[in-house]
Amino acid sequence: MVDISQIGEFGLIKRIRRGLGYKNKEVKEVVVGIGDDCAAIKLTKGLLLIATTDSLVEGVHFKLNTISPSLLGKKSVATNISDIAAMGGIPRYLLITIGIPPSLSVEYIDSLYKGIKEATESYNVIVIGGDTFRSDDRLIISITLIGEIEEEFLVRRGGAKVGDKIFVTGSLGDSALGLEILESGINDSRSVKVTQQSSPQSSPIDEIISRHILPTPRLEEGRVLATKGLASAMIDISDGLASDLRRICEESVVGARIYLKELPISDTLNNIVFTQDKSPYDYALYGGEDYELLFTVRGDKVKDILRYWEGMKTPIKEIGEIIEEDEGIVLIDEAYNIIPLIRDGYDHFLK
């Protein structure tokens, strides 16, 4: 194991640059890549630039002993890709800032960047720059992702209208359950087996953990929703359905009605009674990091969406509808009781 203090920041940056295997001439849009004061890029003519930034912080978003460096690298890319997906855009260029505790080995950093590189390759994204700093206490990965989009396809949070139907992709709450399993340690003997892509043979527990360790951003789905003009508003669910639905409602100045029994909940989440005081709905509503898409669809497009969705791998589900702002954001339970949605998702700053 090589200590970072043996090679210094310049040595580390050279190593990272080499590891990313980036050659400026590989991609003609990249006029200047890593290794100058700025990167310089020729964007596609006529497209808008889109940009997002998101960080993963040890002790806040992950623990070193529950995720491998390579998967952590991949996850840090995936969470940013998810924001591009939620606009309907195409991810293109990435800048990575890493705060590195000197106690981490150079090999750890190599693996982290290997994960980042593999993830960027799988999304056709190119690393164009970054920064490193010494962070005595914890590992910090902060990514800015730049993408492109046709102006007419841009899907914002603020486009929902009364009468729109509310949809989500995939299933909700699995990631929060996966995190609980990881933190409980009950999977200790298994966690090393968690792989990037859960195979058909992997156990339900492994799959649930995978949903947390390496969420799949719904990039293709977001792009279809945008380019076919199907979504009137869209957001990715990073802080939990309750929080992110509130953001859609605030930006669109509307209310929402969600039918609990329509929430897409995986069999595993339904079957595992993990803590006695929570129902699967709690995970689905308040659990974070699902990275599913939450979107609204005009009433007259619902038929279209179901037709366009034939052949798509990830299912979508109608879970409610947009109502007037003064009706608030409400849940309808199985007995048709109306429950105002008060609680939000997880907030790192609140006690």
Write out the binding residues for its own copies, residues 89-118 only, by CB under 8 A: 89, 93, 95, 97, 99-100, 102
Q: Roughly how many angstroms between the first and final C-alpha of the chain, as a whole number?
A: 39
> Are the C-beta atoms of 170 and 292 separated by less than 8 Å?
yes
Q: For the chain, how many residues are written? A: 351
Q: Does 23 bind its own copies (CB under 8 A)?
A: no
Which of 66, 120, 144, 171: binder of its own copies (CB under 8 A)? 144
Q: Does 134 bind its own copies (CB under 8 A)?
A: yes
The DSSP 8-state label assigned to residue 62 in this structure reads B
Q: Does 32 bind its own copies (CB under 8 A)?
A: yes
With CB under 8 A as the contact rule, which of the stretches 134-142, 202-210, 263-271, 308-316 interacts with its own copies?
Answer: 134-142
Query: Considering only CA atoms, which of 52, 44, 321, 87 is closest in space to residue 221?
Result: 87
Q: Residue 335 CA to chain centroid, in angstroms?
A: 33
With CB under 8 A as the contact rule, which of the stretches 87-95, 163-171, 205-213, 305-313 interacts with its own copies?
Answer: 87-95
Q: Does 54 bind its own copies (CB under 8 A)?
A: yes
Within a 10 A sphere around the Cβ of 330, how many other Cβ atoms? Answer: 16
Which of 26, 121, 188, 347: binder of its own copies (CB under 8 A)? 347
Q: Does 151 bind its own copies (CB under 8 A)?
A: yes
Alpha-carbon span 248 to 254, nearest angstrom = 8
x-or-dash string of contact with its own copies, 239-278, rule CB under 8 A: ----x-------x---------------------------
Q: What is the CA radius of gyration of the chain?
A: 21
3-state secondary structure of 148: strand
DSSP element (H, E) containing 69:
helix 69-85
Q: Does 224 bind its own copies (CB under 8 A)?
A: no
Q: Which is nearer to its own copies, 5 or 124 (CB)?
A: 5
For 77-194, list the strands marked E by DSSP.
90-100, 126-134, 140-149, 165-169
Q: Which is nearer to its own copies, 156 or 190 (CB)?
A: 156
Q: Which is nearer to its own copies, 129 or 173 (CB)?
A: 129
Number of residues that bind its own copies (CB under 8 A): 73
Which of 1, 38, 273, 335: binder of its own copies (CB under 8 A)? 38
Tokens of 141: 């990965």
Q: How far is the CB of 9 from its own copies (least distance, A)?
A: 5
Which of 75, 157, 211, 218: binder of its own copies (CB under 8 A)? 157
Q: Does 50 bind its own copies (CB under 8 A)?
A: yes
Q: Which is nearer to its own copies, 13 or 272 (CB)?
A: 13
Alpha-carbon span 44 to 141, nearest angstrom = 28
Q: Which is nearer to its own copies, 7 or 162 (CB)?
A: 7
Which of 2, 48, 224, 330: binder of its own copies (CB under 8 A)? 48
Q: Does 37 bind its own copies (CB under 8 A)?
A: yes
Q: Does 63 bind its own copies (CB under 8 A)?
A: no
Residues 6+ apart with CB under 8 A from 39: 30, 32, 33, 93, 95, 128, 129
Which of 16, 71, 84, 263: binder of its own copies (CB under 8 A)? 84
> Are the C-beta atoms of 285 and 241 separated by less than 8 Å?
yes
Pairs from 38-42 (Cβ < 8 Å, separation ≥ 24): 38/129, 39/93, 39/95, 39/128, 39/129, 41/92, 41/93, 41/128, 41/146
Query: Considering only CA atoms, which of 147, 81, 84, 72 is closest in space to residue 116?
Result: 72
Query: Considering only CA atoms, which of 220, 305, 211 is closest in space to residue 265?
Result: 211
Q: Which is nearer to its own copies, 156 or 228 (CB)?
A: 156
With CB under 8 A as the contact rule, which of the stretches 27-35, 202-210, 257-265, 279-287 interacts with its own copies?
Answer: 27-35
Q: How far is the CB of 270 from its own copies (least distance, A)?
A: 29
Q: Does 227 bind its own copies (CB under 8 A)?
A: no
> Are the C-beta atoms of 87 and 218 separated by less than 8 Å?
no
Q: How far is the CB of 207 from its own copies (least distance, A)?
A: 26
